[in-house]
Amino acid sequence: MQLILESLFNGVAIGSVLLIAALGLAIVFGLMGVINLAHGELMMLGAYSTYVTQLIFKLPILQPFYNAYVIVAIPIAFLVSGVVGILLERSVIRRLYGSPLETLLATWGVSLILQQFVRSVPLAYGTGLIIAVLLGITFPIILRKRFVGQKNNQILRLGSWATAAFVGVLSASLISASISRLGRASARNVDVTAPSWMRGGFELWGITFPMTRMVIIVITLIAVLGVTWFLNRSVWGIRIRAVTQNRSMSDCLGISTETVDVLTFGIGSGLAGVAGVAVSLLGSVGPNVGSSYIVGCFMVVVLGGVGNLLGTIIASFSIGILTDLIGAGRLLTIWPEMPPPLAATVDFFATTSMARVLIFALIVIFLQFRPAGLFPQKGRMVEA
């Protein structure tokens, strides 16, 4: 019984990482049908945002609050990845709607650009650039109500971007001068150190539960509840669901589908940044950290049913539990009397990488009989 509970906990922990990584992709893919291969790089930006936040909290003035840096890093990672996702949608993807192959190639190219950007640009300068972009977009939104007239709006935009550029350059200079660790983000991985309250674990029923994985499960639970509330209770969430069901009819009823696209892509990208925070707590952060999760994210979305939140949750936890049972060899321990041919097969796949190969093969077989996934999308556009 203890072994089964331990396997379930490990499976839920693995599934939580997959779920929070696939949550944003499920929203974007379900609404716009965009195969965003840069989703993993948005996770990478969230992970690096956590690393930068950690280093900033090591400054003498913020040292007393160091243990709270993870809480601060979550909204920062959401904003950074969300803004980058919105810029991606406005600059590239909006011109390629209805062309899935071109969108696939374009987002793959963006993923390569982001990886090389992280490798080549010094981390301090990259941080200053992101700060400048965030402020340049935020200032006009905050100050717009105080200015009336086209002339004032133009002055507002120019002044906002000039101020944002100045703050970005100043931030990069201060960070580079104050923190010697903010050098070049090369291919060498960097490590995020967990705060003291996240180290170790606690025992229950003879099982040790690591605090880091417990925190990731809590972050995932909060993210799922937040997305569920937003999609079902908020005005824009209902509009997003309406556009998902029938885009042309929603447009006829006065819903701005263009705004819905921007909002959806921003939220989905922001959730990828939150997933990056969780990933950074599990191991080293590098330019290729997102590539390790992108295939699993797509498998979760397709298996659960494109755009279905419940299906995404069930698929994530199912893959996580199967990965632990097969990859850690627990299935042989739980079922010692397994038939020899089956036992030999399970033993051959008793590593994490090979377990993923077997699980993905089983998913492909399952999709041959149920190509729409566990919970297929419904609506007039789907039925058509």
pLDDT, one tens digit per residue, over 236-269 is 888 887 877 777 787 788 888 788 888 888 888 8
Better pLDDT: 37 or 334: 37
| Angle, in degrees to the nearest 10, between helices 211-233 and 257-280 | 170
For the segment 6-18, the average pLDDT, to the nearest whole number, is 76
Residue 45: CB partners within 8 Å, gap ≥ 6? 77, 80, 81, 84, 114, 273, 276
Q: How many CB atoms lie within 10 A of CB 250?
A: 19
For residue 306 the two structure tokens come to: 């494109």
For residue 215 the two structure tokens come to: 């925190």
- C-beta separation of 231 from 267 below 8 A: no
For residue 291 the two structure tokens come to: 């590539």
pLDDT band at 169 (very low <50, low <70, confident <90, very high): confident
pLDDT band at 107 (very low <50, low <70, confident <90, very high): confident
For the segment 286-295, the average pLDDT, to the nearest whole number, is 80
- Provide the pLDDT for residue 313: 85
| Per-domain residue ranges of the chain | 2-121+184-379
Spatial CA neighbour of 181 closest among 45, 48, 44, 278 = 48
Q: CA 238 to CA 232: how far, in whole Å?
A: 6
- Provide the pLDDT for residue 207: 67
At 48-75, the pLDDT tens digits run: 888 888 877 877 777 788 888 888 889 9
Query: Could you tell me the CA-to-CA distances from 258 to 6, 74, 128, 267, 367 in Å, in that order?
Result: 46, 27, 30, 14, 32
Better pLDDT: 75 or 191: 75
Residue 332: CB partners within 8 Å, gap ≥ 6? 338, 343, 346, 347, 350
Alpha-carbon torsion 19, 23, 25, 29, what sign? positive
**String of b and e for 312-331 (b: at least 16 CB within 10 Å)?**
bbbbbbbbbbbbbbbbbbbb
Better pLDDT: 305 or 77: 77
- Provide the pLDDT for residue 144: 59
To the nearest whole number, what is the mean pLDDT of the chain?
Answer: 76
Amino acid at the residue 190: V
